[in-house]
Amino acid sequence: MSESVLKVQSLTKKIGKATIVDNVSFEIKSNEIFGLLGPNGAGKTTIIRMITGLINRTGGTVMINGSDLDHDFEGAMNELGAIVENPEFYKYMTGRKNILHYARMSSNDISNERIEEVIKLVKLDHAIDKKVKTYSLGMRQRLGVAQAILHKPSLLIFDEPTNGLDPQGIREFRDYLKVLASEGVGILISSHLLSEMQLMCDSFAVIEKGKLIHTKEHIVDEKTETINEVSFTVSGGKLAKKILQEQFADITILKYDSKTISVSATREQTANINRSFIENQLDVYEIGITRKSLEDKFFEITEQEMRESV
């Protein structure tokens, strides 16, 4: 059983009459990479600032690894590692001194071996004794990861972590996340880059206008009745079309030619179609499933929300 490393309940932020964040609740377990999605200005950063204690909450509670932010601020903060927005460092100091600076601020004793280990992990060993002002953005991001994981926190928060990173940097970052999550850390990432998030996150929440409008849907969830685009490569396209029209009248045929036929079908329906094809002496060489991208899902959700609100 994985335990909850972050529990946010009824998080609310009001500035004057405007409600920036409205009654948001979610939970992140260890080993989980959780994406906070939403368009710019939806309130993602405000939520993250409230969780990290950088701004006051109007209402709601934040528990980090079982410590309440209000009652045990220091305990909660020691379980947190984060890069809030851009990874900013003391540019006039070396990377090593920056790391030492944050190591000293932990409640845990951080050994020199641990510092070396983290520097190696983020592949900065060649540049760690250079001043941070000579670092590229990618290197600063890696230094950011180093200072965040130094004290082995149970929760990591990265706000728009891939901003300004090149594709290689993004890929490296993704790999770190997977490794960290496999070691038992819970990770919260905010982003407006949906395709990025799809590759990184196990589950996600969609924020719009300060409200949580969708949560905890696993991006790859085999049990749900999600309709996928399924394409069958068969020995005869015409026969396949005939079988579908006769036996599966409710299934939409997206396209077909002599060798392939594409339909919209659920997981269950895909199995049934396959059985029918075989029973009708049709050879099935390949079944391909094009899963709905997070982007499609995101627009589906936000558009639905918009229709409802009209």
Partner 1 sequence: MMSLVKNEWMKIFSKVSTYIFIAFLLLAALGAAVIDYKLSPDETNKDWKQELNADIQEQEKALEAKEISEEEKAAIMDDINYNKQLLADNINPDLNTNWTYMAEWTTSLTSFVTLFVVIVCSSLVSSEFSDGTIKQLLIRPYKRWKILLSKYITSLLFAALLLASLLIFSYLIGIIFFGNGSYSDKIMDPASFDFSPVVVGEYFVDMIVYWIPGFLVITTIAFMLSTLFKNQALAVGISIFILFASSTLNMVIQSFIGKYEWLKFVLFPHLDLRGYISGTIEMFDGATLGFSMGVLGIYYLIFLALTFFFFQKKISLIK
Residue 195: both structure tokens together: 């395709």
Please name every residue paired with 203 in a beta bridge, in sequence order, or none if there are none.
Answer: 34, 218
261 bridge partner residues: 232, 256
Is 55 near partner 1 (CB under 8 A)?
Answer: yes
* Residue 102 DSSP label: H
Residues 91-110, interacting with partner 1 (CB under 8 A)? 91-93, 97, 100-102, 104-107
SS3 161: coil
Q: How far is the CB of 45 from partner 1 (least distance, A)?
A: 10
Restricted to residues 59-78, the positions that interact with partner 1 (CB under 8 A) are 73-75, 77-78
Q: How far is the CB of 175 from partner 1 (least distance, A)?
A: 23
Give the nearer residue to partner 1 in terms of CB position, either 91 or 171.
91
- Tell me if 182 contacts partner 1 by CB under 8 A: no
Is 285 a binder of partner 1 (CB under 8 A)?
Answer: no
Residues touching partner 1, count (CB under 8 A):
32
Q: Is 130 in the site for partner 1 (CB under 8 A)?
A: no
135 forms part of the interface with partner 1 (CB under 8 A): no
Name the 3-class secondary structure at 284: strand
Locate 236 and state its tokens: 């005869």
Which of 2, 10, 41, 90 forms a contact with partner 1 (CB under 8 A)? Answer: 90
Q: Which of 13, 44, 49, 57 binds partner 1 (CB under 8 A)?
A: 49
Given the complex with partner 1, which of 52 and 198 has the nearer CB atom?
52
CB atoms within 10 A of CB 85: 15
- Strand 33-37 to strand 186-191: parallel, antiparallel, or no bridges (unpaired)? parallel
Residue 258 and residue 35: Cα distance in Å, rounded? 42
If one asks whether residue 82 binds partner 1 (CB under 8 A), the answer comes out as yes
Task: Give me 233's structure tokens.
Answer: 């490569």
Binding mask 15-44 for partner 1 (x = CB under 8 A): ------------------------------
Q: Measured between alpha carbons, how far is residue 162 from residues 40, 153, 166, 174, 286 in Å?
A: 15, 21, 8, 9, 36
Name the DSSP letter for residue 143.
H
Give the footprint of partner 1 on this chain (CB under 8 A): 49, 52-56, 73-75, 77-78, 80, 82-86, 88-93, 97, 100-102, 104-107, 147
